[in-house]
């Protein structure tokens, strides 16, 4: 039976489970085929803690776009040290980056939405596809509160672009619930969060948000778009 046909049955099983129970179930059902993509955001740090502390056989990877904040890279090192678990790093293709910069300039993504999406594709989407290839379950740290687009997502859904089942274990967690969990378990997180950065991506594309602004307002702040890079497009 194909992965997509398994989705309804799996969804019914996983809906009432806690995040760690859901992670454990999928790891048992798809041994060696479950991967977690972390951007080292607060939600992702919660999931990393669950995988590490409960010794779940789930592979963790991250994407280094080449334009990340130094604080994000420092957090990667601190996280590996804290949980004694290596996080695999995927990088964009060198030739693709060189060609992009030759065509657009080093900061060409500011010039148009099309340019920005091209940059996101080369630096994030293409490496993600490589990381997901050959796997059955893709775990993410998405929460429904983060954006209108994400509020319509389900805990378990089919990702057509990558032909994989996507599991969003924290989808129904509130922001306050997440912060309380981080505090209770002393989970390391990016210090930029304490400076108003809610959603942290590439350094030139992320700013702190103002009181009352949408959580995704700090991403690609110069443009009016859906505030997605293509990793989690609907």
pLDDT digits (tens, 9 = 90+) for 154-172: 899 999 999 999 999 999 9
Q: Residue ranges of the domains in the chain?
A: 3-92+132-191
Report whether pLDDT(1) > 70.
Answer: no
Q: How far apart are CA 10 and CA 15, in angstroms?
A: 9
Beta carbons of 86 and 192 less than 8 angstroms apart: no
Q: Which residues are the active-site residues?
A: 229
Question: What's the pLDDT at 224?
Answer: 79
Q: What is the mean pLDDT of residues 50-69?
A: 98
3-92+132-191: CATH class? alpha beta
Rg of the chain over Cα atoms, rounded to whole angstroms, equals 17
Whole-number pLDDT of residue 233: 56
Average pLDDT, stretch 207-217?
A: 87
pTM score: 0.91
Report the pLDDT value the prediction gives residue 102, as an integer from 0 to 100.
Answer: 98
């Amino acid at each position: 039976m194909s992965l997509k046909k398994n989705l309804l049955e799996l969804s019914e099983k996983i809906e009432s489970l806690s995040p760690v129970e859901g992670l454990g179930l999928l790891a048992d059902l798809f041994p060696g085929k479950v991967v977690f993509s972390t951007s080292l955001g607060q939600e992702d740090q919660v999931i990393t803690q669950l995988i590490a502390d409960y010794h779940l056989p789930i592979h963790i990877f991250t994407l280094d776009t080449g334009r990340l904040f130094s604080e994000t890279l420092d957090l990667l090192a601190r996280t590996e040290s804290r949980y004694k678990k290596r996080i695999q790093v995927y990088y964009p293709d060198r030739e693709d980056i060189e060609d992009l910069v030759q065509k657009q300039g080093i900061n060409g993504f500011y010039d148009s939405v099309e340019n920005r999406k091209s940059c996101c594709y080369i630096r994030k989407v293409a490496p993600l596809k490589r990381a997901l290839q050959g796997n059955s379950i893709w775990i993410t740290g998405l929460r429904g509160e983060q954006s209108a687009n994400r509020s319509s997502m389900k805990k378990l859904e089919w990702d057509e672009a990558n032909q994989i089942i996507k599991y969003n274990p924290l989808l129904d967690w509130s922001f306050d619930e997440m912060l309380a969990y981080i505090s209770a378990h002393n989970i390391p997180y990016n210090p930029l969060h304490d400076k108003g950065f809610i959603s942290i991506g590439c350094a030139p594309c992320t700013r702190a948000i103002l009181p009352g602004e949408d959580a995704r307002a700090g991403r690609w702040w110069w443009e009016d778009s859906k505030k997605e890079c293509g990793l989690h497009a609907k």
